[in-house]
Amino acid sequence: MFIRKTLDMKKIFALFIFTALVACGQSETQTQSKTIAMMDTPTSFYDLEAKTIDGKPFKFSELRGKRVLIVNTASKCGYTPQYEDLEKLHRTYGGDSFVILGFPSNDFGWQEPGSEQEIASFCSSKYDVTFQMMSKVKTGANKGDEVYQWLCNAELNGVSDAKVSWNFNKFLVDENGQWVAHFPSSTGPMSMEITNFASGK
């Protein structure tokens, strides 16, 4: 009788251990699945927000249905004359379907040291800029402004881990808020790659 009870207790204990292990395995699998699902789901471009150069809030939801070029700018860079072609691009293709957002940044060579007011004045007086300029930002993938974190992290944009290499790097986002391309400073605003995108080709 004692032997039978001992065997029964061993069976019950073994069944308990087996059940616990199965449950634990399922829980771990579910946790992994949730983590992977979260990583595979990019943050929407239209959830982002920023401030214009005059300090007004700007919701990216306003950009729905528009192709967007985002460029980090600087006033004292060898590429600063690209402002002229950026403005030309804006006047040629800008409007309801295409928008340029310029984000001043002092990240590279300390070539944008001025205040927003000074930057706005420079852009207006020197290059007659009329496309939308934004407040000064950091462009780092990890500690930068949320716009640049989105642009530079595949986990967020769903496409690419890009790296801003210098002033006047350019990012293209299509009319559905999808990350399309990243170009270095040497790719001019009036290059075929960018004009084709701006015109919707």
How far apart CA 84 and CA 189 sit, in angstroms, is 9
How far apart CA 40 and CA 145 sit, in angstroms, is 22
Report the first-to-last Cα separation within the chain, whole angstroms. 86
How far apart CA 152 and CA 143 sit, in angstroms, is 11
How far apart CA 100 and CA 130 sit, in angstroms, is 10
Catalytic residues: 77
Q: Which residue, 157, 156, 117, 163, is CA-closest to 136?
A: 117
Distance of CA 85 to the CA centre of its chain: 24
Q: What is the largest CA-CA distance in the chain?
A: 101
Nearby residues of 173 by Cβ (< 8 Å), 6 or more positions away: 45, 63, 67, 68, 70, 179, 180
Distance of CA 181 to the CA centre of its chain: 11
